[in-house]
């Protein structure tokens, strides 16, 4: 993946926690924020992946921690946040990027899969936000960015559990923004459309098989629905995350922003 060097340095000496920072969108955000001057904590179940991204970020001259964290586990989350505070004395930005997906029709969804999706995509956002907000409240400020999905705004066959988990994140963002506004903490959600990452590749592989078409045909079908004529890149999403974490977004809170090449505008 190519990472455009950021031309701005909006996060000099800031501290960012990026959950899901080992891969895809979370990784691109961690690297983009480091380019812009932030020190970074990568919190991910995939420690090996987190270490690799940490190595890249060290190469940019930033301080970085890779912390094995399962966002569905409250102890893990609190320990990760405490480790971040011990090392950096503060947390300025939280990006909740950890997420999983599954594809099944209503009749096929197993209870355990419903629970996994909601645990990671929704409860994980709650636990990380609650833990970090405690610190940001003491600091009298911060930015929280939740990676939801444009799929959280409409129906898509085979995605009822995933889409419901993302709709919940959009709703959670709206209410938490109201509660944290008086502490000068901005809370917003990003709703990406199809973005080429390992998660998207897994969708292409699984659903092309399910529909009996080639991966290329499946991908072409996805691209055909995008007015701007291509899938997103993780760096596209990182650019919006960086704007929302910057001072230019100081008067924005409780919003959810579609970034999907024009695929959906509601």
Closest of 45, 58, 57 to residue 3, by C-alpha = 57
Cα separation of 122 and 170, whole Å?
10
Cβ 256 to ligand NAD shortest distance, Å: 12
Given 162, 172, 218, 263, which residue is catalytic? 162
DSSP assignment string, 68-88: E--TT-HHHHHHHHHHHHHHH
Cα separation of 222 and 87, whole Å?
43
| 256-259 vs 185-192, strand pairing mode | parallel
Cβ 258 to ligand NAD shortest distance, Å: 10
* Residue closer to ligand NAD, measured from CB, 68 or 183: 68
Q: Provide the binding-site residues for ligand NAD, judged by CB under 6 A.
A: 19-20, 22-26, 44-46, 49, 69-72, 97-101, 120, 124, 147, 149, 192, 194-195, 197-200
Give 55: exposed, middle or buried? Use CB within 10 Å, 0-12, 13-18, 19+: exposed
| 93-96 vs 185-192, strand pairing mode | unpaired
* Residue closer to ligand NAD, measured from CB, 75 or 247: 75
Cβ 13 to ligand NAD shortest distance, Å: 26
* Residue closer to ligand NAD, measured from CB, 147 or 177: 147
8 A C-beta contact, residue 214 and residue 148 = no
8 A C-beta contact, residue 38 and residue 98 = no
Would you call 162 a catalytic residue per the annotation?
Answer: yes
* Residue closer to ligand NAD, measured from CB, 92 or 203: 203
Cβ 98 to ligand NAD shortest distance, Å: 3
Catalytic residues: 162
């Amino acid at each position: 993946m190519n990472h455009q060097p950021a031309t701005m340095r909006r996060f000099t000496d800031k501290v960012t926690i990026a959950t899901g920072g080992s891969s895809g969108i979370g990784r691109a955000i961690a690297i983009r924020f480091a380019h812009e001057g932030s020190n970074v904590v990568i919190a991910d179940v995939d420690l090996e992946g987190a270490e690799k991204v940490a190595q890249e970020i060290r190469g940019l001259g930033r301080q970085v921690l890779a912390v094995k964290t399962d966002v569905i586990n409250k102890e893990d989350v609190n320990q990760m946040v405490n480790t971040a505070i011990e090392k950096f004395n503060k947390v300025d930005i939280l990006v909740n990027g950890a997420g999983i997906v599954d594809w099944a029709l209503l009749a096929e969804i197993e209870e355990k899969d419903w629970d996994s999706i909601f645990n990671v995509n929704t409860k994980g956002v709650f636990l990380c936000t609650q833990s970090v907000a405690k610190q940001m409240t003491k600091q009298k400020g911060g930015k929280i960015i939740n990676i939801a999905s444009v799929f959280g705004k409409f129906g898509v066959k085979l995605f009822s559990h995933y889409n419901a988990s993302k709709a919940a994140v959009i709703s959670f963002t709206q209410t938490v923004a109201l509660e944290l506004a008086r502490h000068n903490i901005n809370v917003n959600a990003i709703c990406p459309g199809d973005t080429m990452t390992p998660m998207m590749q897994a969708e292409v592989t699984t659903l092309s098989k399910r529909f009996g078409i080639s991966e290329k045909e499946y991908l072409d079908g996805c691209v055909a629905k995008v007015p701007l004529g291509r899938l997103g890149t993780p760096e596209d999403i990182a650019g919006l995350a960086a704007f929302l974490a910057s001072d230019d977004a100081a008067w924005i809170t409780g919003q959810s922003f579609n970034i999907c090449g024009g695929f959906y505008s509601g």
